[in-house]
Structure 1
Amino acid sequence: MTFPLWLADTIAKSAQRAPASAGLPSAVAFLEIPARTEVVTIPTRHGEIRGTVYLPRTPDSGSGVYVNFHGGGFVTRHPEQDDALCRYVAANADVTVLNVDYVPAPQSRFPGPVEQAYDAVVWAAAATRPWNGAKLVVGGQSAGGALAAGAARLALERGGPAISLQVLMYPPLDLSVPARTKKKPDTESFLVRMGPIFDTAYCPDVGRRKDRLISPAGPSDRASLAGIAPALVVTAQRDILRDEGARYARRLADAGALVEHLDLPNVGHGFNLFGADRELVTTVYDRIVVHTSDATAPDRDGRH
């Protein structure tokens, strides 16, 4: 049964008008890490979008850049929910973090947000930026992870920009099948209920949901991923999106592009935003830092 587009759009717009959540629990907000930020404007083929730049501890034009895309089912617009991750990565990986405020659905439907994400990556990679765009990481949580994967795919297909690492946290990577079919015992129900709303608002054309930029873990995408950016994939065992994340991790491994797959037991979708303990969140963030640091490290001759 197809979810009515008018209803999906109405719910999506209502969610956009809702205020941001009260904030993360203090234990995982990492407010003890100082954040120096500035706002930038990023041109894309779909108009200008905003980005928040998090400066590293030791700002240096040779430091790399981590381009982050927030989650929200492709429909909400609260990039500030990723503040904790952004400040943690900027401080501990010593890179600039660019948190991108892309335009969500229904104002921008598929492939609009993916194209915005790719355009933001191209902008961030330019030699004129005050960071080293040749040392570039893309990442995101939930829908943002899907956009990061799409941006990496477009970079592969279009010959650039070079991406050193993609960080995909519990991403939706197969919209070609209904959310209700992804439910298993001991998995959460939230995305079973909300999935049809998100999917319909983002991509009303059911046939288009097989596209490689929206369902790279689906059965229709069989193209080679050879040469795609190396990836860290994070999945959560109580998340209905876990299996598609694991499938994509295997695809990346087959292409020689999987750096690590973290499959976390006993937690669900958005675990770091919705109450997981600090030890677990720190463990995951530290793996992101390690791989980001490796991907953006200076060359052996000392050049960034």
Structure 2
Amino acid sequence: MPRLSEMVPPPVTKGLLRAVFGLPGPVKRLITGAPVRRDGQRLDLDAQLLLLMTRLEGGRLGAPTVEEARRGLQRGQSYLDRVPARPVRTRDVDANGVPARLYTPKGLPEGSPLLVFYHGGGWVIGDLDTHDTVCRYLAVHAEVRVLSAAYRLAPEHPYPAATDDALTAYEYAVANAGNLDADPAAIAVSGDSAGGNLAAVVGVLAERKPDFALLFYPATDMTARRRSRELFGDGFYLTDDDMTWFSGHYCPDEERRADPAASPLLAEDLTAFPATYLVTAGFDPLRDEGEAFARRLEEAGVPVALRRQDDLFHGFTNMWSLGGRFQEAMSEAAGALRTGLYAGPRQRS
């Protein structure tokens, strides 16, 4: 049976979404019911409302087929396609065989920092378009150029295809920073969820290390189940079943899941990893492994700022256009990226 959103024209659904989130707080509370509290945290009201709407619509990240899951994410993001007020120019780039898109905010001078971004989606779903508004937001609010890389997806291209493409795109950015009108001494990596995993892997494996890493709720260890997966594995957008579904498609060979290129938390040496802002969501099954990675960076002597947005759930980067706490969290991350790239040392020639 088709979902309600598949039978309603997208402009109508978008208008309804805006109207619901524009309601007064007390009305939203009447709709959502009692606050959700778990593990000493209280879910943000707008986050609770969005989860309720998602459940009513019957949506989930995983699906009976890969094609359905990909269509579902694309459809969901089409309702959240608001862009920053400042214009952003885009152009397609061939990053040594990896399709990519370069974002340049209007008025940004040549020689600005560059961010290489990897979209989330469990290494199975997602593309340049599903994370277009995320890249535009970071470009505008961090004052950077953004090179978004469309790495190959599983199951058509299982591990390590995504890792190989992530490294290829990053190495292209390093070698061609000047041609991209970017500063070769200020190149960062970023990504959300599976994209955060790829950004972390680049930080571990790249010969020329990035100058900064911005990691949104990254997947860092495919070999273990942590407490947050038990606490938040059902009812908070990304589910335990979704995680099993994604990992099974991405890396069906369970022995290879311990590779540092799949599970960067298990890398032996993290001392050369770049300075990092790592943000987790409180109601996220990936929370604990992301925070474990931050602790390992700290133990290795890497400058790292760990920020738990304890009232949000997985995927909040894509939801910034709804405003409220979603946009606040993205604004904070963009500020950290801007500070890390503009105020950090630039010693490379």
Alignment correspondent of 1:3: none
2:139 and 2:106 map into 1 onto residues whose CA distance is 7
In 1: Cα distance, 2:337 partner to 2:224 partner: 32
* 2:174 corresponds to which of 125, 133, 151: 125
Over 3 Å counting, the alpha-carbon distance change for 1:117 and 1:222 in structure 2 is closer
Match of 1:136 in 2: 187
Equivalent positions of 1:67-146 (< 5 A) are: 67-127=116-176, 128-130=178-180, 131-146=182-197
1:75–1:105 CA contact under 8 A, matched in 2:
yes
Tell me which residue corresponds to 1:200.
248
The alpha-carbon distance between structure 1 residues 283 and 196, as it changes in their structure 2 partners (threshold 3 A), is same
Counterpart-to-counterpart distance in 2, 1:180 and 1:299: 35
Post-superposition Cα deviations, 1:43-92, rounded to whole Å, max 9, x if no partner, equal 1xxxx221111103334331111111101111013222222221122122
Counterparts of 2:242 and 2:289 in 1: how far apart (Å)? Answer: 17
Matched, 1:20 2:74: yes
Q: Which structure carries more helix by proportion?
A: 2
Instruction: Please say which of residues 170-179 and 108-117 is displaced more in the overlay.
Output: 170-179
Give the structure 2 partner of residue 50 of structure 1: 99
CA gap of 1:186–1:114, structure 2 versus 1, over 3 A, is closer
Q: CA deviation at 1:109?
A: 1.2
Deviation of 1:186 (Å) = 8.4
Q: Distance in 1 between matches of 2:89 and 2:175?
A: 22
- 1:150 equivalent to 2:201? Answer yes
The answer for unaligned runs of 5 or more in structure 2 is 1-61
The question of 1:11 aligning with 2:62 is answered no
Letter aligned with residue 174 of structure 2? A
Q: CA deviation at 1:299?
A: 8.0
Q: Which residue of 1 aligns with 2:218?
A: 171
CA distance in 1, matches of 2:77, 2:269: 41
- CA 1:108–1:62 in 2, change beyond 3 Å: closer, same or farther? same
Decide which structure has the larger Cα Rg and report it.
2
Superposition TM-score, scaled by structure 2 size: 0.73
Give the TM-score, by structure 1 length: 0.83
Amino acid across the alignment from 2:218: P
RMSD: 3.0
Would the aligned equivalents of 1:67 and 1:121 in 2 still touch at CA under 8 Å?
Answer: yes
Matched, 1:246 2:298: no
Aligned residues: 284
Question: In structure 2, what is the Cα distance between the partners aligned to 1:230 and 1:300?
Answer: 11
Q: Is the 8 A contact 1:33 1:88 kept in 2?
A: no
Contact 2:115–2:147 (Cα < 8 Å) also in 1: yes
Amino acid aligned to 1:129: N
Q: Does 1:226 align with 2:271?
A: yes
Structure 1: gaps (5+ residues): 1-7
1: CA distance between counterparts of 2:228 and 2:217? Answer: 17
Q: Residue 228 of structure 2 contacts residue 284 of structure 2 at CA under 8 Å; is this kept in 1?
A: no
User: Is residue 12–residue 201 contact of structure 1 (8 Å, CA) maintained in 2?
Assistant: no
Instruction: List per-residue Cα deviations over 1:129-152 (Å, max 9, x = no partner).
Output: 222232101000111100100111
Please name the residue that 2:57 is paired with. none
